Structure formats: C-alpha cells, structure tokens
A = this chain, B = another copy of it.
Amino acid sequence: MMGPCADADAERRPPGRPRSADADRAILQATLELLTESGVASLAIEQVAARAGVAKATIYRRWPNKEALILDALAGTVDEKPIDLPGTSMRDDLVALVQGIVGRSVHTGRGQLYAWMVAESERNPHIAHKYKSLVVERRRELISSVLRHWQERGELRPDIDIEIAELLVTAPMLVYRVHWNPGVEPPADLAAQLVDAALSGIAAPQP
C-alpha cells in the first residue's frame, strides 16, 4: 500500500533555496509603475531593480531580457473585469462592446504599450505571438461569441463570415481612438453611429 506521499509523478522540487515570491511581485509592480510613468522606450532594468529593492541579477535570473520582463508585466494586468452586455438586441450588445473594448486600453494607459508591441512584432516573433494571444484573441473571443449568438437568432446575416463581421464592428472605433485621435475622448454617440453604419451598410439602397 502507498503512503500519503506517493508523488511518483509529482514535479521534483529543485534543490537549493527557492526563488522569492516577494521579489517576483516587487519586480513586476516596479516595472508597471515605471512603464506608465516614463514609457517603454526609457524603461531601464537598473531603475526597475532600484525601485523594487532587488539586485539586477535577480531580475535576469527570471527573465532573459527587457522585452520578456515587459511582456510578463503586461500579461498580469490585461482586462480583469468583464464587459456586461444588455442582451436586448444585437445592436445594443455591439454598441456596449465597442464602447467597452476601446475604453479598456485607453483608460488604463495601456495604449502605448500595445502600440509598442505592434512595432516590435515585426522583428520579435515572441512579442507578436504574445500580442496576438493577449490582446487580439481576447477581444476576438468576446466579439465573436456575441456575433455568433445573434447569428443563431437571425439578427446577423447568415452568409456573413464572422471574421469579416468582427473587423467591421470593432476596427473603426480602434482606428478612431488609436490612430486618428490618440488620447482624446470620442463623442458619446460614436459607438452607436459606427455600429449602425456597420449594420445597415453605407451603400445607397437600390431604387
């Protein structure tokens, strides 16, 4: 018979002193603070170490380089609270979604970091992948589930590709906020206008 410690397949604890969880927390928090205070470009590991009250080596023992640290710091903070949908109609749900999605990256000041990720994506596939799974796919899951829900209920055209619909609904607000008017609050009714246009199209009706 086996005793209570039959952990044959348990993961072996490595010998030696285990890494300090306090250090982990302090480093990530210091990183986030400095990131929001001074931006990605001027983030210095030495400052992170100083603020976290930690040796530089302690950081490099956990992350291979600056990028990895930033990525992890970000990962811990994306979109905590869900967006609540009215559920009364597709139009209402989409307006709430468009409003909420964009609000997130802007109000948390994370917009700059996302843009940095996009910029680095071209050269650093790790960042590209992280950005996709962290930001893009989280958004897409949200919006696509809503769209599919209303497609089953007949409010979304059955012949439309969900991917196309996602783009049509979310991209305009994103571009407006991030590219056209960075840092400016959009008009309150913009989300509604965009969703309405996406729903009914912009072509003049055939006579």
Contacts and interface: CB of A to CB of B under 8 A. Distances in A.
Interface in A93-147: 111-113, 115-116, 118-123, 128, 131-132, 135-136
Contacts of A90: 203
Interface in A150-177: 154-158, 160-161, 164-165, 167-176
Interface in A65-107: 90-91
A202 B168 contact: yes
Nearest to A158: B204
B123 A202 contact: no
Contacts of A204: 154-158
Interface in A163-207: 164-165, 167-176, 178-180, 182-183, 193-194, 197-205
Nearest to A120: B41
A39 interface: yes
Given A155-B204, A201-B198, A204-B155, A179 B122 contact: no
Contact of A119 (B112, B136, B156, B180): B112
Given A155-B204, A193-B161, A122 B171 contact: no
A54 interface: no
Contacts of A161: 193
Given A136-B179, A158-B204, A171-B175, A119 B116 contact: yes
Interface of A: 39-41, 90-91, 111-113, 115-116, 118-123, 128, 131-132, 135-136, 154-158, 160-161, 164-165, 167-176, 178-180, 182-183, 193-194, 197-205
